[in-house]
Amino acid sequence: MKIKFYASALLAFLLLTGIANGQDGNNVSYHLSNLPQRVRLNPAYQPEYGVWVGLPVLSGVSVNYLNSSFAVKDLIRKKNNGTDSLVFDFDRMYQKLRKHNFIGLTNENSLLTVGVRLKNNWYLTVDATQKNEMLFGIDKGFFTFLKNGNAPYIGQNFSLGGIGLTARAYEEFAVGLSKKVNEKWTFGARAKFLLGVANAQLTKSEVNIDGSGSVQSGPGQTLRLHSKQEIRLTAPVTLSYTLQEGGYLDWDNIDTDTDDFSSSMVLNSDNPGFALDLGAEYQFNERLKLHASLTDLGFIRWGGAGYRFGQDTTFDWRGADASNSGNKNDANYTPLEDVFEDLVDTLKNCFRLKEQSGAYTTLLRSKMYLGASYDLHKLVSVGGLVEMTLMNKTLYPSLTASANARFHRNVSASVAYTVMPGNYVNLGVGITAKLGPVQLYAATDNALGANYTSAKSTSARFGVNLLFGHKDKKKKATSEEILETIVVPVKKQEVAPPDTVPEPETMKAIEEFFEPETRETDVLLPNVQEETVIGAGEISKPYHVILGSFQNKLRADKLRERLVKMGFNDSVIMQNEQGLHRVSAIAYHTREEAWEKVFDIRDKYSQFYDAWALKVN
């Protein structure tokens, strides 16, 4: 074992992960319009397309970094002599530390996803994902100890705190169902079967200074420390090691055999687990929608080949001082790498771990989302999101405000601003774009993370989806199927969402099916829906051309004013028994005349592509 190598790796790890200080990179994605992957954040969400296919690897990759304390520039800076030379600024980094600090990395790779819209407002998803995550936590007391050396603690009893470490890889196989119960409520759930691949966990960690221990004076002074640690390791690897007297590990004679690791990355039934995602959406009114979800409520039972080590020992430590690691011109200069090397060397010789055995259970890192979205316009909405994550028994919240735009049915974008403890500047962006059945998407919770030296947050999510059958556009069908679909009893009709008509899907299908010359015939013209309405005056012409339906009377009035300016002077507003305000552009005596005008309006005015005919009573 090369101690210098491990010390350098530890230092490099701290530096590289200093670019991160965020949550899971989902803050922008939660309200990004037309992104099917939102079902993984809230299983109640129903994608707009009837069929969603995610190909292996291509459909989704997510990488997120986390750090609760400092950025690279807080630890490394240029010298003040006008050169490009870099120096470690331990004091500046120390000032950025919090009482409890964590550094982490998460990664998700989508293996396969299929989503299908079912009958009766059900939506089914089936997907497989490979997940990796690492979380390292450390208390500020350790850095205080390194910074100040031994002297301040001589003759005192003092706790330096503990170290936390969780690193695991597992596979997730999920089946999700969501149901739109009515125009207000949608509920969803995802059941997830887990197969653990590898896990390393420091379950107990405590280091105390024992002031009653013997102390030597002068350059060789020592300090008595008491350390209690417990480490669990489960992985498809074989450790070869020797034990010293008393059953302690000989750190210089540890070797690993990873031949079985690749074969265990697919189906390792020795480490099963289960998790559940729950979600709900509530359409408060025609503009405001509320969202809530809980994800990763579950566990993994690690029963495969593994190792469990426990340590409880007291030892005398000579100490190291990192306060002199920033200035090479200082007479007492000590390279920071040497400080860490000295510490690791001491730990190697003094932290003796005894081998233990036995299966154990770990909980997933559960998350809760509470959100709301408000439609300012058909194409623009604003959103708010509260995300809360439990890490190392500490709750870490984040608050996000977003603006979301739908430039076209196939193009959407979001811009978000997120604040969280210790990090208040996170500008996120997300975009989806679809050409034919192929949709590309990308999102990040901090676009400023490109400047890794100063950013405290960075994340990236990107992928490719195949989408078929938009909910507002059906494929061509036979005339019999269309005529059968159009006849819907009015008593079964639900209150339509804002800015929609009862059957835009059917009307669009009719428009695609009937060629212009066919529309003029009497044989294939569809029937019309019949309703009892008020406000139409004397019904001398029962067949009306409907250009809009609203629950809000004010919006209906605005549309009628537009129609009058466009030359539809006979336009009227009628209210049906369900309370919807139908805006009629013109009325006719016969069904044929009404449908002829419907098709004419659709051809001339693209904004009224969903015009339709209604017979009123």
CATH number at residue 126: 2.40.160
Task: State CA 332 to chain mean position distance.
Answer: 48
Verify that 256 and 181 share a domain, yes or no.
yes
Predicted local confidence at residue 15, as pLDDT: 34
Phi-psi map region of 520: left, alpha, beta (phi>0 left; psi -120 to 50 alpha): alpha
Query: In this structure, which long-range contacts are made by residues 435-439, counting pairs with CB atoms below 8 Å and at least 24 apart in sequence?
Result: 435/410, 437/466, 437/467, 437/468, 438/464, 438/465, 438/466, 439/34, 439/410, 439/464, 439/465, 439/466, 439/467
Any bridge partners for residue 302, and if so which? 360
Task: State CA 81 to chain mean position distance.
Answer: 44
What kind and span of H or E run contains 228?
strand 223-234
Low-confidence ranges of the chain (pLDDT < 70): 1-25, 70-72, 74, 78-88, 149-155, 211-221, 246-247, 257-267, 317-357, 391-394, 422, 448-457, 471-528, 535-539
Query: Which residue in this structure is represented by tokens 């296919």?
Result: 53
Predicted local confidence at residue 231, as pLDDT: 84
CATH number at residue 599: 3.30.70.1070
> In terms of residue numbers, what domain contains 397?
3-470
Predicted local confidence at residue 412, as pLDDT: 92
Contact 199, 272 (CB under 8 A): no
Verify that 491 and 454 share a domain, yes or no.
no
Verify that 449 and 493 share a domain, yes or no.
no
Query: One-letter amino acid identity for 265?
Result: M
CB burial readout 295-304, b (16+ within 10 A) else e: bbbbebbbbb
Query: In this structure, which long-range contacts are made by residues 435-441, counting pairs with CB atoms below 8 Å and at least 24 apart in sequence?
Result: 435/410, 437/466, 437/467, 437/468, 438/464, 438/465, 438/466, 439/34, 439/410, 439/464, 439/465, 439/466, 439/467, 440/464, 441/32, 441/35, 441/37, 441/465
Within 434-515, residue ranges assigned H as helices are 479-486, 504-513
Contact 69, 34 (CB under 8 A): no
For the entire predicted model, the pTM comes to 0.65
Number of domains the chain contains? 2
Q: Which of 341, 561, 420 is nearest to 27 (CA)?
A: 420
Verify that 556 and 489 share a domain, yes or no.
yes
Verify that 483 and 461 share a domain, yes or no.
no
Alpha-carbon span 595 to 543, nearest angstrom: 9
Predicted local confidence at residue 478, as pLDDT: 41
Q: Which of 448, 470, 492 is the last residue of a domain?
A: 470
Verify that 88 and 38 share a domain, yes or no.
yes
Verify that 18 and 35 share a domain, yes or no.
yes
Q: Which of 449, 470, 491 is the last residue of a domain?
A: 470
Q: Which of 470, 494, 517 is the last residue of a domain?
A: 470
Which two structure tokens, joined as six digits, stand for 417? 């601003």
Q: Which of 73, 66, 74 is nearest to 96 (CA)?
A: 74
Length of the chain: 617
Which two structure tokens, joined as six digits, stand for 351? 């932290």
Verify that 433 and 514 share a domain, yes or no.
no
Verify that 48 and 176 share a domain, yes or no.
yes
Verify that 466 and 485 share a domain, yes or no.
no
Query: One-letter amino acid identity for 554?
Result: L
Contact 526, 487 (CB under 8 A): no
Radius of gyration of the chain (CA): 32
Verify that 581 and 515 share a domain, yes or no.
yes
Which two structure tokens, joined as six digits, stand for 308? 């469990």
Verify that 31 and 107 share a domain, yes or no.
yes
Taking each helix axis from N to C end, the angle separating 336-350 and 3-16, rounded to the nearest 10 degrees, works out to 120
Phi-psi map region of 252: left, alpha, beta (phi>0 left; psi -120 to 50 alpha): alpha
Q: Which of 363, 236, 231 is nearest to 300 (CA)?
A: 363
Any bridge partners for residue 274, and if so which? 193, 299
